[in-house]
A and B are shown apart, each in its own frame.
Chain A
Amino acid sequence: MRTRVAAALALVLVAGACSETTEDGPSADQQRTATGVIATDPKDSLGPAPEVPGATKGGTFTVIREVKISHLDPQRVYSFAGLMNAPLYARTLTTWKDDGKGNLTLVGDLAQTPGTNVNNDCKVWEFKVKDGVKFEDGRPITAKEIAYGIARSFDPDLTGGPTYVQEWLADTADYDTKWDFKANKSALPPGLTTPDDKTIRFEFAKAHCDLPFALSLPTSAPLPPDKDTGVNLDNQPFSSGPYKITKHTPGVELVLERNEHWDPATDPVRHQYPDKFVWTFGPDPDAGANRVIADSGPDQSALAFNGVPSALVSQVAGNAALKERSIISPTPSAWRLTINTQRVTDLSVRQALNYAIDRDGFVKSVGGEAVASPITTLMPPATIGYQKYDAYPAGPTGNPEKAKELLAGKTPELVLGVGDDHPEYGTQLKGNLERAGFKITVKSIPADAKLDETKKKDNPWDLYLDQWAADWPSGAAILPVLFDGRSIKAEGNSNTSLINNDAINAEFDRVLALDPAAQAPEWAKLDERIMKELAPAVPMFVDVAYYLHGSKAGGVFISSVFGYPAFVNAFVKQ
């Protein structure tokens, strides 16, 4: 007995000791940058989408996820899982052509082009609907059904979805009181018209140059009024895409099968390779990843949607057999250490923080470069027009000496608010910043309240970590949202730095009024200017997506827009 126990102990030690950890680990392509903007050539919006090399038809593609997708009703879809799933059954006015390497083109999906800016002032937009687009029952999709889809997004019962188009049409954040959908079901919201069956027209009070981007969200999915089941549409949406929902057990399973009325010739991005897509809900991230690692039976054509948990990263990375089954790619979800500029009013202190930061150390404490990729810009590299710069060059591990020099003998006492689910972030930043002469008090905030508390104008902390993932890869969805001081209110601020600078605010207005294509380089310039002149935050890192799929699954890539696995090219190897 005793020898057996000793043997078992020895085995554990040997098993842990026999493999050496070396620098040769997984890493993401750091310099993936989004390029291209809006398709100017109508040919780009034509189908069919180019064939995926090696793709074959047939089979069942399984997606394993811990919890169900919060909404399926296209007008209510806003979660990442929902946004990645929606293109399978819902077509939109515009969509992104994405090569998975950062080359994005906004093309027309149901529309022939990604929109016509009628008067070149971004106030009137027109979209022409393609011929041959059909619902799952074979009825043609016209401007009427698309407009009805947008109209029903005004219904206050249909919560959860994005609200850009509604707010722009109503010209107020309280769009559901301005126009009551339930009382006017046969009418359309103000500013939205369908002059004929093939034309849909948006008229805004203010310029909204981002409309073609906003319409790539599933808010613009079509629905015939007679198929509108209200809140029940969430269980059984009516398909316009290559797949239709044939079985849905909420929280357990979602089965999508081919929609024979979908015509590939009309679709510039989607394919219809597998016979079926099956979402399986339940297994936790570890269990999901382990099932895909085991690669047996139906799991051979599966993808673990929760990704590789950080504790499994080294094991997955160390296994050469898993290398070709893993996808690793930076995402547009950017983290920054926000500086509360209402409290930290001294610019030199904010600049010193930027010099002091040890991004390398922080990335390691988060889980290494398989999980996070350091950045020095406010906009993530996956933004259109992105220009890399470092306003406070201090090397990957920071420059405490330079920070001390800027502080000129002061030792600012700062309070760092950290969610209590990640106390190690606080430990890491405290150690890092105190080396540079700051005095840091770490205050733990209950994780579920952290977001609401840090968004309050009068929050009591000086520093806190924030994350921002834009809904489309344009600076317009990042910089004005995060740093326009005119929108600061008592609660719910996205401008958590609480920065308010007249010159920068004026710049936002100027750039927002430009044509979308002309905006991109301007945002990159403004990004650098904000960091140099105001230093309202310390850019930290972007999340890195790390996914595993079975040996028979193919065609999955990480969406350059959302940073999650996209299924439009997915296929099952035969």
Chain B
Amino acid sequence: MSLSSEIVGPELAPDAPPPPTGVDVAGRSPGQLARARLRRDRVALVSGGALVFFLLVAILAPLIELVYGVGPYDQFQEKLRRSDGMPLGYAGGISGEHWFGLEPGSGRDIFIRLVYGIRTSLFIAITAALLTSLIGITLGTLAGYLGGWVDSVIGWVTDFALALPFLIFALAVMPTVELRFYGPRDEVPTWFRVAVLIAIFATFGWTSMARLVRGQVISLREREFVEAARASGAGLGHMLFRQLLPNLWAPILVSFSLAVPAYVTGEAALSFLNIGIRDPTPDFGVMIFRSIDWLQGDPAYVFFPGITIFVLVLAFNLFGDALRDALDPKSSR
């Protein structure tokens, strides 16, 4: 499990080319080895490419809007059928002007709303994942390294957070917090809802990371190099950040890369339940929620947001898997 150079180094030997005489044997660090393995993995390359693409789309959304010429809030209701609000033309109104067609009823452009939806979703998911990782790593290392009553207290808090039912809590918190900060005539700004969403995810999401890190730290803290550092009189900060953490990056990275897609779907689910992002703001969950009603009538409306969130989450998961394989070849195959 552990990736400390002392342990992993020798075990990688079978993977390395056989030691022929007269050929240069280059010394490679675990990082270089992992990169080399990633490069050999086609799935990793493709999914990594997809991730970069989605990130670029999210960051460059305003630029895409400029080139595309349609905004996420523009309505084209004159292109809808009078009788039932369906987009005129083929496959939900796909045309050179509207690449993925129009939403039935509101007549907004699906493509540009997807682009901005990716932006909302990825921002929330990545921020939430970063925040949960930060909390989880800090509490996990502290609990694992210090042990004793600190470990017990953090363990209790972890158990408590795990025992709280997430959905019920989210359902209760969202309107309450809104009422606390905004009067009956004030608009609740989107950034506030985003912040509350991230806070809810952070409150519940850090436990798995904390447990993972704690276990790793416990298995590391009795190792010789840790003992040696401690014997040399290293302080707590040095022990945690210089001795232990560098050996934990692999599981943390893997866990992080798997947490992001979980938050993408989690955020979509909350918005689907009407407690996340609300309608005018472009968002995956809201789009899928609205489109489900049209599954039989306008499949194209369900297809594009559905396929996009599917590809996005699949890419994250595949890349996370590949990353784990590359960093920790023992764990699979």
Interface string of B281-304 (1 = CB under 8 A from A): 000000000100111111110010
For the complex, what is the distance from the CA of A421 to the CA of B274, rounded to whole Å? 8
| Residues on the A chain within 8 Å of B80, using CB | 364, 368
- Please tell me if the beta carbons of B83 and A21 are within 8 angstroms of each other in the complex: no
Of the 9-residue stretches B8-16, B91-99, B209-217, B249-257, which lies at the interface with chain A?
A: B91-99
Contact B187 A441 (CB under 8 A): yes
A415 in contact with B296 given A17-B94, A360-B77, A424-B106 (CB within 8 Å): no
Asked if B187 contacts A313 (CB within 8 A), the reply is no
Given A13-B303, A427-B106, A368:B88 Cβ within 8 A: no
> Is B87 part of the binding interface, using a Cβ–Cβ cutoff of 8 Å?
yes
Q: Is there a chain B Cβ closer than 8 Å to A448's Cβ?
A: no
| B300→A25 contact, CB < 8 A | no
Shortest beta-carbon distance from B301 to chain A in Å: 9
How many A residues face the partner with a CB closer than 8 A? 51
The answer to whether B83 and A369 touch across the interface, beta carbons within 8 angstroms, is: yes
Is A26 part of the binding interface, using a Cβ–Cβ cutoff of 8 Å?
yes
Chain B at the A interface: SS class: loop
B-contact 0/1 string along A412-443, CB 8 Å cutoff: 00010000110110111011000000000111
B299 touches A15 (CB 8 A): yes
Is A461 positioned at the interface, with any CB of B under 8 Å from its CB? yes
A312 interface contact, C-beta 8 A: yes
Instruction: Collect the chain B residues with CB atoms within 8 Å of residue A446's CB.
Output: 175
Cβ contact within 8 Å between B83 and A17 = no
User: CB < 8 Å: which of B84, B107, B296, B299 contacts A369?
Assistant: B84
- Whether A16 touches B300, Cβ cut-off 8 Å, given contacts A311-B295, A443-B184, is yes
Q: Is B187 touching A367 in the complex (CB atoms < 8 A)?
A: no
A311 near B297: Cβ-Cβ < 8 Å: yes
Chain A 368-397, CB-CB to B under 8 Å as 1, else 0, gives 111100000000000000000000000000
The interface residues of chain A lying within 8 Å CB-to-CB of B81 are 21-23, 25, 314, 368
Q: Which residues of A contact B (CB under 8 A)?
A: 12-13, 15-23, 25-27, 309-315, 317, 358, 360-361, 363-371, 415, 420-421, 423-424, 426-428, 430-431, 441-444, 446, 460-461
Known: A21-B81, A366-B105. A313 touches B297 (CB 8 A): yes
Q: How many A-B residue pairs have CB under 8 A?
A: 136
User: Is the beta-carbon distance between A364 and B94 smaller than 8 angstroms?
Assistant: no
Q: Are A427's CB and B279's CB within 8 A?
A: yes
Which residues of the other chain, A, contact B303 by a CB distance below 8 angstroms? 12-13, 16
- Choice from B77, B82, B297 contacting A27 with Cβ under 8 Å: B82
Is residue B280 contacting chain A, with contact meaning CB distance below 8 A? yes
Q: When the two chains form the complex, which single residue of A313, A369, A423, A441 contacts B279, counting CB atoms closer than 8 Å?
A: A423
Nearest 9 Cβ contacts at the A-B interface: A25-B83, A368-B84, A423-B279, A17-B91, A460-B184, A368-B85, A364-B85, A311-B293, A314-B297
The answer to the question of B122 belonging to the interface, with a C-beta cut-off of 8 Å to chain A, is no
Residues of A within 8 A of B183 (CB): 460
| A363: chain B residues within 8 A (beta carbon) | 82, 85
Q: Is the CB of B294 within 8 A of A311?
A: yes
Q: Is B90 an interface residue (CB 8 A)?
A: yes
Contact with A along B170-207 (1 / 0, CB 8 A): 00000100000001111100000000000000000000
Contact B279 A443 (CB under 8 A): no
Write 13 A-B pairs (CB below 8 A) sorted by A numbering. Answer: A17-B94, A21-B86, A23-B81, A25-B84, A310-B84, A311-B296, A314-B298, A315-B297, A371-B84, A423-B280, A431-B73, A442-B187, A443-B185
Known: A20-B90, A311-B293. A365 touches B85 (CB 8 A): yes
Are A23 and B106 within 8 A (Cβ)? no
Chain B residue numbers with a CB within 8 Å of A443 are 184-187
In the bound complex, what is the Cα–Cα distance between A199 and B320 (angstroms)? 85
Q: Report the minimum CB–CB distance from B199 to chain A (whole Å).
A: 20
- Report whether B93 and A21 are in contact in the complex, using a CB–CB cutoff of 8 Å: yes
Name the residue of chain A whose CB is nearest to the CB of B80.
Answer: A364
Is residue B75 contacting chain A, with contact meaning CB distance below 8 A?
yes
Contact in complex: A315, B296 (CB < 8 Å): yes
Shortest A81–chain B CB gap in Å is 23
- The listed residue with most B CB atoms (<10 A of its CB), out of A12, A17, A370, is A17
B89 at the interface (CB under 8 A from A): yes
When chains A and B are docked, how far (Å) is the Cα of A314 from the Cα of B85? 9
How close is B303's CB to chain A, nearest CB, in angstroms? 6
Residue of B nearest to A308 (CB): B84
**Given contacts A17-B94, A27-B83, A317-B83, could you give 9 more A-B pairs where the C-beta distance is less than 8 Å?**
A21-B89, A21-B93, A26-B84, A314-B298, A317-B84, A368-B84, A424-B290, A426-B280, A443-B186
> How far is B279's CA from A30's CA once the two chains are assembled, in angstroms?
31
A428 CA / B73 CA spacing, docked (Å): 10
Q: Which residues of B contact A18 (CB under 8 A)?
A: 90
Chain B contacts for A19, CB-based, 8 A: 90
